[in-house]
Amino acid sequence: MQPPFDQLAGVLATEVGYSGGTVPNPSYQQICSGTTGHAEVIQVRYDAARVSYQQLLDCFWHNIDPTVVDRQFVDTGSQYRTVIFYHDEAQRQLAEHSKRELQQSGRYPQPIVTSIIAAMPFYPAEDYHQDYYQKCPLRYQNYHHHSGRDEFLDKVWGR
């Protein structure tokens, strides 16, 4: 998810990490065990004068499969669930509205299962996970190519 957000004008920074669980400062190994309750997430800092929260939501919806539980493409486990963590009531309302609109659009025949919950502590992932797509472009491209993500998004969004 880092590349799509990094490409949006007005996004100042992105950071990958973990949120939504019960263990303080979890490691990647703990997250992968599925016992901490955390999801792998991205934190986005943005200039609201240049990019709206709605545009961030659109970027999110256009880059995930919101209809599966505990999985995103080839990655499986509760840490791969889709979730939006909101920071205030306005964000909650916008996120809920965008989810409802997407469900009502008929774009997906299955229900949208993405959770929308109040922000919880964010723990940055290890350095080697930050900007992975830039640090290891060949590995990232190979993974991305074989994940089925592009084919799914092309089918759903016609891009």
Residue type (1 letter), 92:
R
Average pLDDT of the chain to the nearest whole number? 96
Q: Give the per-residue pLDDT at 33.
A: 93
pLDDT band at residue 152, thresholds of 50, 70 and 90?
very high
Find where tokens 């993974």 sit: 143
pTM to 2 decimals? 0.94
Q: Rounded distance, CA 70 to CA 113, Å?
A: 10
Residue type (1 letter), 142:
N
Q: Is the pLDDT of residue 159 over 80?
A: no
Pick the CATH number of 2-153 from 3.30.1060.10, 3.40.980.10, 2.40.50.140, 3.30.720.200: 3.30.1060.10
The domains of the chain are located at 2-153
Give me the mean pLDDT over the 137-147 stretch.
90
Q: Is the CB of residue 56 less than 8 Å from the CB of residue 97?
A: no
